[in-house]
């Protein structure tokens, strides 16, 4: 009797399980058909109220604009806030909250006028103070904001933790809708920099009685952008966040849909599986995972895009490696030989299924005018594939000083770099006849530590995703002596002078000429070996309309309708 009861219990659990299974299957089928019928019959009526679902990752920090340095949080900040400048699909800057942004003659004082009558979603007004207070907060070292270095060119900025600066002397309020910014160094591209998410305004409600941004604000920020959080608890950690259209925003990015629901996926592969079901679970996926590179174009025949992104990829050979110093002839020869031994076109085709574009310079094709200045730089032959010349140069270098050690490229194995590292080291090894292989670090932090402490024993993967579409954003952090990410420890007087001249140039054309010279220096010294530019591949439910991907690889969500 006892045993029978147990058996019965087991049976009923199984029955319940299978019921749940069928119920769940039926449920998802239903929702699929209802969403498609909605799209089919009353698409015009649904255009402004439909919720668009997309993928994302859990923000690493509370949603404070000046402390958000990664894409997961950046995507949400960009939707909830509106800065002075927004970028259109082509990467051209358009005025968003600003009425005008004008520099003085030598690009050191910028006057900013705001559009009148702008409001945050809590009803409070957007004024000069909303910007000035937020920037002061972000720049103050005592607040430990991740983006504080973005303010370093504004007068009064201090990176000294013992002397925190509460108010930047370079920020001056003229009226409620006008303020000026004094810079320490001339900067031609300051207007583009203002498009970065650290430069958005914050409402009074953000600050607590102690003047610090409150925890509650970080959980449920109040912005002036096209969307607002659906409720104070709209952000469910590790699951997703629900945004709805904000009626207080009336700028160039006005939402054409009812809201955006961002779901955080554990992996891009699972997100791809979700978007493939085409039932509303996931309407648009901003980046196809590598496992689906070969198939996404057939899976989403009429609803995919593959376009260049503002991501430059390379590997850096540090200057402290013997035999590889850029300021010696031997080092330059070896760097050039290695670059010439890599068949970038074949790798981007075979390994990346043409989701990368072989590099021609140190920036990215998304920058405006790149086709005229970036594509055909003098000296970029060193990025071509030429085995004979590679062998020749390597032999010349060996004649100066024999080197028979290994060549390694270090990478973090949690970032999906193994395939291209294998392919690149394979080519170096087979074409130069040396032993070359990848060196995997299990976690990014271990790699970063060795890079920071000059402990690399070979080359390491490097790259840059631009914060705002300007050429200096690709060059200064990576190759200037004081650049925050110059782990190759490159130090070149020619580079420094060129960058200085470009920043102070009177016209954009003159600035560009200086930048070209800087890039030619880089092509000669090869502090990093350029590999390719990343493309962005997005796929979406064919029921969506008006899908465009911005310069920063993020879809222009506000324009999408369903």
- Of residues 148 through 187, those in contact with other proteins by CB under 8 A are 148-149, 159-161
Q: Are strands 93-95 and 109-114 parallel, antiparallel or unpaired?
A: unpaired
- Interface residue with other proteins among 166, 247, 381, 414 (CB under 8 A) is 414
Does 437 contact other proteins by CB under 8 A? yes
- Residue from 131, 115, 134 nearest 217 by CA: 134
- Interface residue with other proteins among 101, 109, 125, 141 (CB under 8 A) is 141
The answer to whether 299 touches 50, Cβ cutoff 8 Å, is no
Provide the b/e sequence for 372-404 (b: ≥16 CB within 10 Å): ebbeebeebebbebbeebbbebbeebbeeeeee
Closest CB to other proteins among residues 103, 218: 218
Does 313 contact other proteins by CB under 8 A? no
> For the chain, how big is the Rg over CA atoms in Å?
26
The answer to whether 539 touches 288, Cβ cutoff 8 Å, is yes
| Stretch of residues binding other proteins (CB under 8 A), selected from 7-15, 87-95, 359-367, 369-377 | 7-15
- Interface residue with other proteins among 182, 450, 497, 516 (CB under 8 A) is 450
- Interface residue with other proteins among 30, 92, 99, 239 (CB under 8 A) is 239
Q: Cβ of residue 263: shortest distance to other proteins, in angstroms?
A: 7
82 is written with which tokens? 């509106």
Q: Which of residues 323-352 bind other proteins (CB under 8 A)?
A: 343, 346-347, 350-351
Which run of H or of E encompasses 346? helix 344-350
- Interface residue with other proteins among 82, 337, 423, 518 (CB under 8 A) is 423
Closest CB to other proteins among residues 226, 280: 280
Does 534 contact other proteins by CB under 8 A? no
C-alpha span between 297 and 539 (Å, rounded): 9
C-alpha separations of 345 from 311, 354, 376 in Å: 17, 9, 17
C-alpha span between 111 and 114 (Å, rounded): 10
Q: Cβ of residue 356: shortest distance to other proteins, in angstroms?
A: 14
Q: Is 520 helix (H, G, I), strand (E, B) or coil?
A: helix
Does 292 contact other proteins by CB under 8 A? yes
C-alpha span between 398 and 400 (Å, rounded): 5
Q: 539 φ, ψ to 5°?
A: -135, 150
Does 439 contact other proteins by CB under 8 A? yes
Q: Which of residues 73-132 bind other proteins (CB under 8 A)?
A: none
34 to 53: interface string for other proteins, x by CB under 8 A? --------------------
Closest CB to other proteins among residues 53, 246: 53
245 to 284: interface string for other proteins, x by CB under 8 A? ------------------xxxxx-xxx-xx-xx---x---
């Amino acid at each position: 009797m006892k045993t029978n009861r147990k058996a019965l219990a087991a049976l009923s659990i199984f029955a319940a399980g299978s019921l749940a299974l069928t119920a769940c299957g039926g449920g998802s089928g239903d929702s699929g058909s209802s969403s498609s019928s909605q799209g089919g019959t009353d698409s015009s009526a649904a255009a402004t109220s439909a919720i668009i679902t997309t993928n994302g990752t859990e923000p690493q920090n509370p949603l404070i604009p000046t402390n958000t340095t990664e894409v997961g949080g950046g995507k949400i900040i960009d939707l909830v806030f509106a800065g002075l400048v927004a970028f259109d699909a082509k990467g051209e800057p358009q005025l968003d909250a600003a009425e005008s942004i004008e520099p003085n003659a030598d690009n050191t004082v910028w006057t900013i006028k705001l559009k009148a009558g702008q409001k945050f979603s809590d009803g409070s007004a957007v004024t000069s103070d909303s910007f000035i207070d937020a920037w002061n907060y972000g720049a103050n070292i005592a607040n430990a904001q991740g983006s504080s270095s973005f303010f370093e060119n504004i007068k009064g900025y201090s990176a000294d933790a013992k002397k925190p600066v509460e108010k930047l002397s370079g920020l001056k309020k003229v009226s409620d809708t006008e303020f000026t910014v004094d810079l320490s160094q001339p900067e031609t591209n300051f207007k583009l920099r203002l498009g970065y998410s650290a430069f958005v305004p914050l409402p009074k409600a953000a600050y607590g009685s102690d003047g610090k941004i409150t925890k509650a604000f970080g959980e449920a920020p109040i912005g002036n952008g096209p969307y607002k959080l659906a409720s104070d608890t709209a952000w469910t950690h590790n699951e997703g966040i629900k945004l709805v259209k904000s009626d207080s925003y009336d700028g160039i990015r006005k939402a054409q849909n009812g809201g955006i629901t961002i779901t955080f996926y554990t992996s891009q592969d699972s997100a791809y599986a979700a978007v493939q079901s085409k039932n509303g679970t996931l309407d648009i996926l901003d980046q196809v995972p590598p496992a689906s590179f070969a198939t996404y174009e057939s899976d989403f025949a009429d609803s995919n895009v593959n376009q260049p992104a503002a991501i430059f990829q390379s590997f850096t050979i540090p200057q402290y490696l013997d035999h590889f110093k850029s300021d010696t002839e031997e080092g330059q020869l070896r760097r050039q030989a290695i670059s010439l031994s890599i068949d970038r076109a074949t790798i981007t085709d075979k390994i990346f299924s043409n989701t990368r574009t072989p590099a021609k310079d140190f920036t990215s094709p998304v920058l405006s005018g790149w086709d005229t200045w970036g594509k055909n730089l003098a000296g970029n032959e060193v990025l071509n594939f030429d085995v004979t010349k590679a062998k020749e140069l390597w032999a010349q270098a060996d004649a100066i000083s024999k080197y028979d050690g290994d060549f390694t490229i270090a990478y973090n194995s949690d970032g999906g770099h193994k395939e291209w590292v294998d392919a690149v080291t394979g080519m170096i090894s087979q074409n130069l006849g040396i032993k070359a292989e990848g060196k995997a670090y299990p976690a990014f932090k271990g790699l970063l530590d060795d890079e920071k402490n000059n402990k690399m024993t070979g080359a390491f993967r490097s790259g840059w995703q631009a914060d705002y579409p300007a050429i200096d954003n690709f060059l200064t952090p990576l190759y200037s002596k004081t650049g925050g990410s110059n782990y190759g420890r490159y130090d070149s007087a020619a580079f420094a002078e060129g960058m200085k001249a470009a920043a102070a140039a009177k016209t954009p054309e003159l600035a560009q000429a200086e930048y070209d010279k800087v890039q030619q220096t880089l092509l000669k010294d090869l502090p990093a070996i350029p590999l390719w530019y990343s493309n962005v591949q997005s796929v979406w439910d064919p029921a969506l309309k008006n899908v465009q991907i911005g310069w920063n690889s993020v879809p222009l969500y506000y324009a999408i309708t369903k």
